[in-house]
Amino acid sequence: MKQPGSVAAPLPPASPRQPLPRSPWRGLLLARALALIEERQPLDDTAELAAAWREGRDLPQRVLARAWRLGDRLGLVSTLQGLTRHAGWLAVLGLVLVLLSSAGMLQAVLGSGRHINVVHAFVAVLGLHALTLLLWLLSLPWRPEGIGLGRWFWRLEGGRGPPERQALLAAGLELLQQQGLGRWLLGALSHGLWAMAFALALLWLALVFSFQAYELSWETTILPRDTLPEFVDLVGRWPAWLGLPVASTERLVTADAAERHRLLAWWLMLAVVAWGLLPRLLLCAVCTALARWRLQRLAPDTAAPWVRRLASRFAALQASAVIDADEVPNAPVHPSTAATRPRAPLALVGFELPPEQAWPPPDLATPAAGPPPTLCLRLDGGAHERQQVLAALDGAAIRSVLLVVDGGTSPDRGTGRFIAALQADGRRGLALWLLAGPAGLNERRWSAWLATLEDPPPAFDTPQAAAAWLAPAER
């Protein structure tokens, strides 16, 4: 396992092995294995997540980039490399299979001394092949996820070794099940092995036939006389159609013995080529092409839960940019000064109140509030109106104002400027009454905001408090 630091290092990893090529298949395998590990225990992937975010353009690319980086750090990549070396042993096993089956074919043909019955040889060589091919073709309409071999492999290999290895194997099995990938890969493998076995057997047969004399014929004890020639003729049609030089039955019957042995040997070899080697080669090519096509198209399923969860985490990485920073620090917070006593003449001013608010507020018309104030004005906050109200206050020489505002709204700098204008540099006393508006009352917002004003006026949020402030005014 590599050290965690080796990910960020610009040098190639210290491992002497060749780095694994980054195929989509391997990336997806790593990503899925990591997701399986993460289901049990979350991984610390902050650095890899950020790097993958920069590296990839879209979600699938980013998921794979993260998998490669994280897999490298956690040693999954080297585990995968170890597992791929097992593929070497699989190849040896395959070669042994090829040798065994070609030896079996030769035994079927040459096993009975120098005398060969071609029909018997043909059936013996191609019988098992025909049976397995038929089974494979019949399995095609079934669901592609049926991999018995995968479960066998799992029993053999799964559940052993470190959790990374188990996760990789489970992820591999899952991927093989997806989209019939396993079927085409296995198909390519088995057809390829058969084709190799046929090729080897044919080569050997050609060598044997070249340098040893065999007697080839067809013979029977109980079958009708014409059956075997007809069979030979029937079998020969397909290679002949392919353009292979197969002798016709008439020629076989008319030829002399030595020529007939030669022609029958060719017939046997060409029949094995046309009925055994070529179909297997063709199917191997088709399966390989399909498997390659699917392998190339492998990508993380963007609708899979584990990919969606990564998507959310990637999306959270996108930074917002401050483009016009706040240069003025927050205004200093002034402690609220003690409620200054109001002095007559008094004015009651309603500022930016909702239209349905009764004016003057009926709550205030209590005996405790004393006589009505000198001025009772209400304004919506327009610039012209503000000038008029300020002029009226100056005209009546108002010395104290109770400003009534909607305590449910948000205070703003416009309100602040009007308050400052009302205070007239401290020449006029001011108190605020926060009226509970349609949206209720938000006294915390208001008191926090009032504290940032240069000369914070006292504020009340009940009519009783406002009336009490008005009452003791010296008139």
- Which member of 245, 414, 426, 472 binds another protein (CB under 8 A)? 414
Instruction: Pick the piece of the chain touching another protein (CB under 8 A) from 75-83, 240-248, 321-329, 338-346.
Output: 321-329
- Comparing CB distances to another protein, the nearer of 111 and 414 is 414
- The answer to whether 186 and 146 are in contact (CB under 8 A) is no
User: What is the per-residue DSSP string for 212-269?
Assistant: S--EEE---SSS-TTHHHHHHHHHHHHHHHTT--PPPHHHHHHS-HHHHHHHHHHHHH
- Is residue 395 involved in binding another protein (CB under 8 A)? no
The answer to whether residue 146 forms part of the interface with another protein (CB under 8 A) is: yes
Let me know: does 110 contact 116? Beta carbons within 8 Å. Answer: yes
Give the residue, chosen from 92, 323, 338, 358, that forms a contact with another protein under the rule CB under 8 A. 323
Q: Residue 311 CB, nearest distance to another protein (Å)?
A: 8
Question: What's the CA gap between 162 and 144, in Å, rounded?
Answer: 30
Regarding 138 and contact with another protein (CB under 8 A), the answer is no
Q: Are 341 and 472 in contact (CB under 8 A)?
A: yes
The span from the CA of 180 to the CA of 401, in Å, is 83
Q: How many residues bind another protein (CB under 8 A)?
A: 67
Q: Which is nearer to another protein, 138 or 328 (CB)?
A: 328
Footprint on residues 49-108 left by another protein (CB under 8 A): 56-58, 61
Please list every residue from 190 through 219 that binds another protein, using CB under 8 A: none
Should residue 36 be labelled a site residue for another protein when binding is judged by CB under 8 A?
yes
Q: With binding defined as CB under 8 A, does residue 326 bind another protein? A: yes
Phi then psi for residue 3, to 5 deg, are -75, 150
Torsion sign across C-alpha atoms 370, 372, 375, 380: positive
The residue among 45 and 352 lying less far from another protein, judged by its C-beta, is 352
Is residue 155 near another protein by the rule CB under 8 A?
Answer: no
- DSSP 3-state assignment of 360? coil
Q: Does 388 bind another protein (CB under 8 A)?
A: no
Q: By CB under 8 A, name the one of 327, 338, 358, 395 that touches another protein.
A: 327
- Non-local (6+) Cβ contacts of 364 within 8 A are 348, 463, 466, 467, 470
3-state SS, 167-201, equals HHHHHHHHHHHHHHHHHHHHHHHHHHHHHHHHHHH
Asked if residue 245 binds another protein (CB under 8 A), the reply is no
Residue whose CB is less far from another protein, 120 or 445:
445
CB of 440 vs another protein, minimal distance in Å: 10
* 3-class DSSP state of 407: coil
The neighbour count for residue 179, using CB atoms within 10 Å, is: 15
Q: Which stretch binds another protein (CB under 8 A): 7-15, 68-76, 231-239, 310-318?
A: 310-318
Q: Which of 21, 413, 425, 474 binds another protein (CB under 8 A)?
A: 413
Q: Which is nearer to another protein, 257 or 383 (CB)?
A: 383
Give 436: exposed, middle or buried? Use CB within 10 Å, 0-12, 13-18, 19+: middle
At a CB cut-off of 8 Å and minimum separation 6, what does 432 contact?
A: 402, 403, 405, 419, 446, 450, 457, 458, 459, 460
Each residue 164-193 as x (binds another protein by CB under 8 A) or -, in order, gives: ------xx-xx--x----------------
**Start-to-end CA span in the chain (Å):** 89
Give the shortest CB-14-to-another protein separation in angstroms.
32
Which residue, 210 or 318, has its beta carbon nearer to another protein? 318
Q: Work out which of 85, 308, 334, 341 binds another protein, going by CB under 8 A.
A: 308
Position 470: which residue type? L
Positions in the binding site for another protein (CB under 8 A): 32, 36, 39, 56-58, 61, 143, 145-147, 150-151, 154, 158, 170-171, 173-174, 177, 302-305, 307-309, 311-313, 315-316, 318, 320-328, 330, 352, 354-355, 380-383, 385-386, 409-414, 416-417, 438-439, 442, 444-445, 448-449
